Homo-oligomer: A and B are copies of this chain.
Amino acid sequence: MAFDSVQTPAGKADKVLGGSVNYFSVAASFFAPVQILGVVGEDFPKEHLSWLAARKIDTSGVEVVAGQTFHWVGSYNDNLNEAKTLSTALNVFEKFDPRLSEKHRNAEFIFLANIDPVLQTSVLDQAKTHRLVAADSMNFWITGKPKELKETLKRVDILSINETEAFMLSGEKNLHKAIAAIRAMGPSVIVVKRGEYGAMLFTPRSIFLAPAFPVDRVVDPTGAGDSFAGAFMGFLAEQNADREMAKNDPAGFDKILRRAVLAGCTMASFTVQDFSLHRLMRLEAKELVERQNALLGMIAV
């Protein structure tokens, strides 16, 4: 949960709603019920938490503590695939230590957003049975806490990561070798995010190349990766595509993974069409289906 202040070639937005869990949960809620964990300061708008709850997103795991909400200030130049961080005020996030309620412990599909791998591992330690675990990470943790990250990855089924980070994490310069090296760390499925060029899905059996949906104009790429992950994970949960299925029906699992990646690309394409969560918050299920079908039409041969 965060406030973002962001400048892009299309304009700027000051202290607007942001944060992985926000983008992720709204995106995922189109497909499956969602429970979120996070922390906000007393300055965070309660109306937004109510709005999430009205979408049947369980916000009981969002702690409200004394202090200010995490605040990211960043900008994008013409290369919209790369954010430049101008400042990061961790604020209440600095002492965030996710505690799972009994209900959270029974979550079946878990997504570990991009935080300290020590906290990611702590979430998995508290979780009871889970059917599928996906995780995100970034250069900051790859270089800052490589050992801890590798501990987390041992317990992760699916890793979503961008291309540069895949090279950084694996120490390889060749993508195929990088994927093999990451797979050896734990995740059998790796989703490589490529910004405006879409995503690549690597399973032990095949590669899938998904394009981004070509939007007229990218206003703000912030949150694209998180809403991709939300729709991806929501779709997998909706389809009951879990570790068990990966074992017993790998071809069926791969097929659902491909659809999940396309759902992610479609969702992300809405996110980037406005600042903050603005576009996602007014997105209708019908629009999502329409664009998903349009994207399918653009890759059919």
A to B CB contacts below 8 Å, 23 in the list: A174-B216, A175-B214, A176-B214, A176-B216, A177-B216, A194-B197, A197-B197, A198-B209, A198-B211, A206-B297, A206-B298, A207-B214, A207-B298, A208-B298, A208-B299, A209-B298, A211-B211, A255-B301, A258-B301, A259-B301, A296-B301, A299-B299, A299-B301
Q: Does A262 contact B (CB under 8 A)?
A: yes
Q: Which residues of B sit under 8 angstroms from A216, Cβ to Cβ?
A: 174-177
**Residues from chain B with Cβ under 8 Å of A197 in the complex:** 194, 197
A195 to chain B, nearest CB (A): 10
Q: How would residues 7 to 42 of chain A score, 1 for a CB under 8 Å from any chain B CB and 0 otherwise?
A: 000000000000000000000000000000000000
Shortest A159–chain B CB gap in Å is 18
Rounded to whole angstroms, the CA-CA distance of A176 and B301 in the bound complex is 22
With both beta carbons as reference points, the residue of chain B lying nearest to A258 in the complex is identified as: B301
Within the complex, what minimum Cβ distance (angstroms) separates A225 from chain B? 17
Question: How far is it, in angstroms, between the C-alpha of A258 and the C-alpha of B299 when the chains are bound?
Answer: 9
- Note all chain B residues with C-beta closer than 8 A to A211: 198, 209, 211
CB distance from A177 to the nearest CB of B (A): 8
Q: How far is the CA of A153 from the CA of B299 in the complex (A)?
A: 28
CB distance from A3 to the nearest CB of B (A): 29
Residues of B within 8 A of A300 (CB): 258
Q: Does A286 contact B (CB under 8 A)?
A: no
Known pairs A208-B298, A208-B299 / 14 extra A-B pairs, C-beta < 8 Å:
A175-B214, A175-B216, A176-B214, A177-B216, A197-B197, A198-B209, A198-B211, A206-B298, A207-B298, A209-B214, A209-B299, A255-B301, A258-B300, A262-B301
Does A200 lie at the interface of the complex (its beta carbon under 8 Å from any beta carbon of B)? yes
Contact of A217 with B by CB under 8 A? yes
CB-CB under 8 A from A299, the residues of chain B are 208-209, 299, 301
- Shortest Cβ distance from A250 into chain B, in angstroms? 15
- A175 contacts which chain B residues (CB < 8 A)? 214, 216
Please encode chain A, from 265 to 301, with 1 for each CB lying within 8 Å of some chain B CB and 0 for all others: 0000000000000000000000000000000111111
Chain B residues with Cβ below 8 Å from A176 are: 214, 216
**Smallest CB gap from A179: residue in B:** B214
The 8 A CB mask of A210-237 against B (1 = contact, 0 = none) is: 0100101100000000000000000000
How far apart sit A217 and B176, CA to CA, in the bound complex (Å)? 9
Interface residue ranges of A166-186 to B (CB < 8 Å) = 174-177
Within 8 A of B (CB), among A233-268: 255, 258-259, 262
* Complex CA distance for A84 and B206, rounded to whole angstroms: 35
Distance between A259 CB and nearest chain B CB, rounded to angstroms: 6
Q: Which listed residue, B208, B217, B297, touches A174 by the CB 8 Å rule?
A: B217
Return A98 CB to nearest CB of chain B, in Å. 35
Top 9 closest A-B pairs, CB basis? A209-B211, A197-B197, A209-B298, A207-B298, A258-B301, A299-B299, A174-B216, A176-B216, A174-B217
